[in-house]
Structures are given as C-alpha cells and as structure tokens.
Structure 1
Amino acid sequence: MKKEMIAPCGMNCELCIAYLAQKNDINKQGFHRTYCPGCRPRGQHCLHMANKCEKIGKGLVEFCYRCDDFPCTRLRALDKRYRTKYHMSMIENLEYIQKHGMKDFLQKEEDKWRCPECKENICCHNGLCMHCHLEVLKNNKKYCWDDSVK
C-alpha cells in the first residue's frame, strides 16, 4: 500500500470499490462501475471532505488530524457510517497514523485487508476480493459484507 492512497479524511483509497474496480477493470466483465484512481492521484484532496471543508478542499492540511477541529462533525458522521456499514473507521485510521506513523499504518492495513487466498486487497465497501469473489458481486451487484465470505 502507498501513502499517496491515504486520503486526508483517513480513507484508504486502495480498499475502495471504485479504485479496485478500476485496478481490476471489472467493467470488461459486464459491470458498469465508476472507476477512480484515488483522491490524491486524481488531483482531489478528499472525495468525502473537500466540498465541506475549506482546509481540505484547498489542500491546507495533509490529514484531518492536523486540524484544530479534528474530528469535526462531518468527519464524525462519515466515520459512523463507515464503522457501521464497512468495518473501518477513518478516525481510528487517522489516530493510528498520528500515533504510530504512516509506515506502521500501511503495514497494519496490508495485514488487515489482505485476501487470504490471493493476497490482493479486500474491498472495504463489500468485504470481497475482486480476484477471488467477483462472482459473488456478479450475482448480487448491491452486495455488502457477509462475514462468512472472506
């Protein structure tokens, strides 16, 4: 995993369905997903926060934890949704980076989100590996997390 794939809000873009869809070019297999190379690589500071936060939108802070308002109301709401639906916390990600550094965070993420079968990344939005479990997504295009499939 790469530092430039960690968005200011704490999202690991390498785990996002839009990034993994592009990386694996799943539209060639009958999908119609929006592709995204990640917030920073496409020149955006943060998909989730840039239009709501002037500091992020203008690139004045690299990560939300460097802001005096951390965690702000918008980030707390986003974090609650991601903890509830997607098994990850952006605030926890940012606090870990702040306390342990980016290198340790990236290693932790690799260990946590690695597919046990092929070693590729598991998607945080549905819990699926786009290599090993793409059939599950083909059969249910709105598939979202089933702990029995990993």
Structure 2
Amino acid sequence: MKFCNNKKISRSKFVKGVAVAAVYCACKPFNRLAASEGNSEQNNDSKVHLAAVCGTFCGACPAYIAKHSDEKQIKMRLQKRLSAGPVTAKKSIPDPKWMDGLLCDGCLSGGELAPHCQKCPMKVCAAGKQNVTRCSDCTELPCTRIMGFINTGLLHRAEYLPNLEKIRKMGVQEWVKYEEERWRCPRCGLPMSWYDAECVQCGEPRSGKLFPL
C-alpha cells in the first residue's frame, strides 16, 4: 500500500499507525475537557456578572442573596427582621420589605433578573452601544440616566460613580473580588446585604469599609 509520498509501508506498520491515530482521536476530547477544566479552575472565582452596568455590586443585593443563599441564611434573615420590630422609614434607606419576593442572578448573568433590573435604563442604553458593557466603558459618563438614579438619595446608589471609577482603574475582575470581600461580615465571612446593620449570623456590626447607615 502507498501513501501520497509514494513510500511503501508494511501491513503491520499500517495497522500500528491506524491504532495510534485511533487512540489519539479518542483521547483528544478528554484533552480538550481537561484543558477546559483547567480554564474553569482558573476562572471559577470570576463573578464579573455581579458587576452591574450601573456600577453596583449585585452580590450585596437582597434579590441576589435571596436566590443564592442557603435555607439557613434565609431563615436567619427573616428572624432578624421580625425581631427588629418596626423600622422608621428614611429617604436614604428603603423599607426592609422593598425586595421581598424578588430573585436575581445578577445584572449581566444572562439568568433570572428582578423586574426592575430587566427594565433598567442604563442596561438598555449600554446594550444599544458598541463596545459598552457597563457605564464605565462609556464616554458620556456621568449622564442624566445614571444621575437620575443617584439623586433618588438611596445610599447604595451613591456608590455608582465611585464604583465605576474603581472598575476603570482596577479592571472588572479585580473589582468584583474586592467587593466580594468588602461585603462579607468581618468576623464570620457571611455575605452581607446593602442595608444590613449587622451580620444576621453572628451579630457583628457592618464593616467600616461599607457606607454608614
């Protein structure tokens, strides 16, 4: 038998060559899978979808915590609220029930979104522009859209512009890691929500790295 280079090979060598090729082809998908797992291992801490278009950290949002917390944490949060009694409303702090029943996977997750996130004007605006994923990518920042939200007076919205500036300087992946650590209880490490005065698990007051309530 001949190959295209016109050199003859024996039947035994031909069979051996076919066998080697078969083994290589069989192993190739596993090699790709291993490489994929390796990349996944490197990227498994990447939660860039929690860096919202507006610059908020979705990981501290009550709707995200409600969906991604275990049952124990959800019960602790409910018990904490019930034991706290009535809360005096403030312009800068929303009613504790403001996101009851809402579930969210994060602004840019591609998964389930809370209704107000689905209709977010900043998200709609960014989607209609080239090379703009977040407001930090936009040359028009700050615009009337984002300032309209900031001017509502809610404390977590006052962080939009400082956060977007940090994203520009740090890069989104490093910023998300920084925020994830910032929004943990200083003592036990449990994720905290924007308006938690103290940890629902151990009672530790919120970190001084967070905006004061």
Report the TM-score range of the alignment, normalised by the length of the smaller protein: 0.5 to 0.7
Letter in 2 for 1:124: W
Letter in 1 for 2:139: D
With normalisation by structure 1, the TM-score equals 0.67
Q: How many aligned positions are there?
A: 134
How far apart, CA to CA, are the structure 2 residues paired with 1:73 and 1:57?
17
Secondary structure at 1:47 match in 2:
helix
Q: CA deviation at 1:107?
A: 3.4
Q: CA deviation at 1:106?
A: 2.4
Letter in 2 for 1:63: R
How far apart, CA to CA, are the structure 2 residues paired with 1:77 and 1:34?
23
Greater Cα radius of gyration, structure 1 or 2: 2
Match of 1:139 in 2: none
The unaligned stretches of length 5 or more in structure 1 are 134-144
Match of 2:145 in 1: 74
Q: CA deviation at 1:117?
A: 2.7
Match of 1:55 in 2: 125
Q: Give the CA RMSD over aligned residues.
A: 3.5
Q: CA deviation at 1:6?
A: 0.8
Match of 1:16 in 2: 61
Q: CA deviation at 1:98?
A: 0.4
How far apart, CA to CA, are the structure 1 residues paired with 2:128 and 2:142?
18
Q: Do structure 1's residue 6 and structure 2's residue 51 form an aligned pair? A: yes
Q: CA deviation at 1:16?
A: 0.1
Q: CA deviation at 1:89?
A: 0.4
Residues 1-150 of structure 1: pairs in structure 2 closer than 5 A: 2-24=47-69, 25=71, 26=74, 32-41=100-109, 42=111, 47=117, 50-51=120-121, 54-58=124-128, 60=130, 61-81=132-152, 84-86=154-156, 89-132=159-202
- Which structure has more helix as a fraction of its residues? 2
* Residues 60-103 of structure 1 deviation map (CA, whole Å, 9 limit, x = unaligned): 42111222211111212323446x43385011111111012223
How far apart, CA to CA, are the structure 1 residues paired with 2:118 and 2:161?
13
Q: Percent identity?
A: 26
With normalisation by structure 2, the TM-score equals 0.50
